[in-house]
Each structure stands twice: as structure tokens, then as C-alpha cells.
A and B are shown apart, each in its own frame.
Chain A
């Protein structure tokens, strides 16, 4: 069975982003970029399924400008077999991404599509679910465990109340949460090998998808800053402040 993993190039999670002074967007010039952490977990899961003999091929797909080939190569170095880049000048909205991915799924016919639950830039948490709706495929979102059993996959999900397990008919969509696995580091030989793995480039037109704007970004502003507080020297002082100054206890 084939697994398709969708990955996104985003700001490195250690970087605290700044807003541009004209409030049009965040400033990504010269900022370190990386594979979205949840996508990395998605790649790791697919590779583990391959190592376990459940999956026979792992295909990674990324949408965006040429630079996102870097993240495809990272995924290939982690153990994916081949890559597909869908070249766009800018990052499409989630619905556009889902429509492009739906076409790739129709071509590749994977049994499992694994995505991160959210990207740490837009924080939307949408693409996997939208893809599920477009393809009428079931979804196991926020997964902390994935078990393929016959023609079904059991997915344990991290939900507000605890954990929920659902059984999904294959083909199915999985979106990863933090506890699904701990991604490996790519070894140097694997990074070298990844450079030779096949990487196809397509355009939205090749896939017959016309991207459309559904939203307009009017403004990006920094959040309200918190006032710096004070240092208390003892538990007694803390209790006094909470009672008499903040009046919260």
C-alpha cells in the first residue's frame, strides 16, 4: 500500500516572527525556514509504516515556490521514496492546497494520506479535513496512534477530553499530533542519497486546478505586549501581592 505525505515549508519553530512595520504581513526575509514540525511527524509515521512492512512506498508532496524542494529533500532524507512539488508563486489558501492535493491523490491513489494537523505559521488546522471532504474520505485528525488492520485503519486521536479511537475505511486521511512519534534525525548518508531520489515538478494547471482567493489579508499587527512585572523575593511577598495588589485570591 502506498502512503502520500503532504509537507509544508514554514518558519523554523525556534524563531519568533516579527511583524513588518507597514503592518502588511510578517517579515520572513532572511528568516530560517524548516519543515513544519507536524509534517515531520507525518513523514516519520509513513516511514515507520514502511519499515514495518505495512506501506510499500512513501511519496511526499509539497506546494509552494521552488524553495520548498528543500523540505521535500528533507523528507526524502528521512526515508520517503520520491517527491512531488506543485509549483506556485505564493502559498495558496488551505482550500486551494486541499484541491491540489485531491488531484495528486486521484493520480497516485494512496491508501493513506498523512498530513500535519496544523502548520505553525498560519495555525489554520484545516487542510487534511478539507481534503477528506473533497475526496469523501474518512479522517483521523490529531492522531497519537495509527494502526492499519486489514482494510481499515484505527486512529487514536488527542481530543479535548482525552483520547478517542475511530476506525476508518481505507483509503483514509490522518493528521498528526505531537505524541504520534518522535522523528529521527536524517543521517549524512541518507541526506546524500536523498539528493538522487526522484522529484517531479508540476503546476496547478497540470493538475487542472484553478486557484481562487477566498479571503483577503487586510492587516497584520503585533499582539498586545504584556507589561513587565516584578520579581518577588519570597512566597510571603507573592501571597501578599496576589491578595492585596492583584486581588485574584
Chain B
């Protein structure tokens, strides 16, 4: 049986996390189908058909799927999913929102946030804020899975030539509605796929001070992240939180500034290739995972670093 991957997209383009999920699916092995559900999502479906390794794209284009409302989308995915061995989505907030509903409708478990594929029914996933890695075997006929993007390379965006098929089924549960959104606009790279991430913590003192990190980030072509404490204090918006319960990042270079290194923060960044920590407290736990530790006042060190790059 084939594998169904749920594409994350904005109707015109595929989100990067979709490509990581495709790679995880290809490691399971089998024919790959990609579902693009949205409204006016033809362009995203065309992009999906180009992805290497995908043989068929299913397009569900209807107002009911416009905002990926879990109540509607889960019914569609569960209905389609009956004919697949695996239903796989990126572990983004959309995937996390929809997929457990799909699993429950299919009366199967969900394996959340997998980081490795051992076989078609056995997977690894982090538990306890990444302080343990569980190897879990699914006993279900259909495996519902979300994929941690940083654990799998992105599939090639081009090279495929999948057939595109429209899905007629429309599921409008009629119990929820989209009201509005506040989407952060930024010219910087997306946090979870950036090659360099500069993150600030409570040590930044206030939101205005994040300007020095943004300046450094722009020089490095980096995304800007934050600790929970910085978000809770209102310095920066929630979508910048890195950690166990925020975003997972694994860039080439992670620079933690004024962040103490609580286990919940480490859970979101300790798979980064190179970690730099700048903190004035030489006992800060962040230094235990840092490749390069600089004990310094960030308000002196960050502008100096910026100037010397």
C-alpha cells in the first residue's frame, strides 16, 4: 500500500517542512502520494507534483479547507487515509493540530515527532524534552505519524513528475470557523530551516534590545529566535520560541545570547551543529552544550561581534 503525506502550504507554495516529511516517508519505502488540501491551491499542487519521489498528488480544493481547520481536514484525511499504510505530516502546528484527530477517526495511535525510521512499523522519537529517545513499534494497520523536520533532509523540490488528481469529497463539519490571524512578517529566513539562528533570552532585558540581535542576524543571514522567558516577558512574539514546547531548530550555527540553558530550551536547539553561548554567568548550564563559550556582558559582546564580522 502507498503512503500519504499531507502537504503544508500557503495555497501557492509548499512549506519547507513538507519536503522533510517526504524524505521520512521515502525512508519507510513505498509509493508516495501527496495531499494538497486548501482553497485555490492549484499552484501549491503544481509545486507538489515536482517534488522528487512523489508519484501522485491529490488536490482537495474547497472553501472548507481554506484555513486547514482541523475539524474539516481531519475528516478528509481520515477518509483518504483508509487506503494507505501510512499517513504522514510534518510536526508543525498544523500537523500537530490535525493528525491526532485523523488517528482517532481511524482508531489508531499517532507517533508524534519521529526523528528516525527503523522499519515500516518502527520509529524513534524523543520523549522527556529530548532527554530520552524511545524506539516505538506501531501495532496498527495504518500508521499515523508526524515528522520532526530537523531530523530529515529536505527532499528535492524538483525532478518529480507526479500525476495530479482532484479529490471530490468535501467535509465541512460546520462546527468551527476561522476568525483571523496575526502573521509575523519578516524578511529573515524561516526559523526552523535557517542555517544560522541567533536567539535571545531574558538577559536581553527588553524587546528594544533585540535590535542588536537583529542587526547581527542580518549580517549572518540568520533567523532570530528566543527563549520562553523572552516571549513570556513580551520582548518578542510567540512564534520565535525555541524549545521543547516551541520550535525545534538544528542550524549549522546557533548563537544563544542571555539564555541560561534550561532543559526545555536545550530540547529545541541541542542538535545544532555548532553552538555559541554568550552569557555573563560562567555557571550557566548553556555552556555545558556550547562548542564556544564566551563569558561576557552581551551588551558589549554582541555589538563587538557584529562589528568584527
Q: Which residues of A contact B (CB under 8 A)?
A: 11, 13, 16-19, 26, 38, 93-95, 98, 117-118, 120-134, 136-139, 141-142, 144, 154, 157-169, 177-179, 213-223, 226-232, 234-236, 238-239, 241-242, 246, 248-249
The binding surface of chain A is classed by DSSP as mixed
Q: Please, which residues of chain B bring their CB within 8 A of the CB of A226?
A: 270, 275, 289
Contact with A along B174-188 (1 / 0, CB 8 A): 011111111110000
Which listed residue (A144, A219, A221, A232) contacts B238, Cβ 8 A?
A144
Interface of B: prevailing SS: mixed
Please judge, given known A-B contacts A162-B238, A214-B108, A235-B304, whether A118 and B131 are in contact too, CB under 8 Å.
no
B residues apposed to A, CB below 8 Å: 67, 69-71, 74, 92-94, 96-105, 107-113, 122, 126-140, 173, 175-184, 192, 196, 220, 228, 231-232, 237-239, 244-245, 247, 252-253, 263-264, 270, 273-276, 287-296, 301, 304-305, 308-309
Q: Are B134 and A220 in contact, with the CB atoms below 8 A?
A: yes
| Residue contact B105 to A231, C-beta cutoff 8 Å | no
Q: How far is the CA of A26 from the CA of B273 in the complex (A)?
A: 27
A–B complex contacts, Cβ < 8 Å, 27 sampled: A16-B131, A19-B132, A117-B245, A120-B264, A123-B244, A138-B173, A139-B71, A144-B238, A157-B93, A159-B94, A162-B182, A162-B183, A162-B239, A165-B181, A166-B177, A166-B178, A178-B231, A215-B109, A222-B133, A227-B291, A228-B288, A229-B293, A231-B293, A235-B294, A246-B292, A248-B273, A249-B253
Cβ-defined contact, A133 with B175, below 8 A: no
A120: chain B residues at CB < 8 Å are 128-129, 244-245, 264
Q: Which partner residue on chain B sits nearest A132 by CB separation?
A: B101
Give the residues in chain B near A129, CB-CB below 8 Å.
Answer: 70, 96-101, 104
Give chain B residues whose Cβ lies under 8 Å from the Cβ of A125.
96, 100, 112
Q: With the chains together, A236 CA to B309 CA distance in Å? A: 10
Taking CB atoms, residues of chain B closer than 8 Å to A121 are 127-128
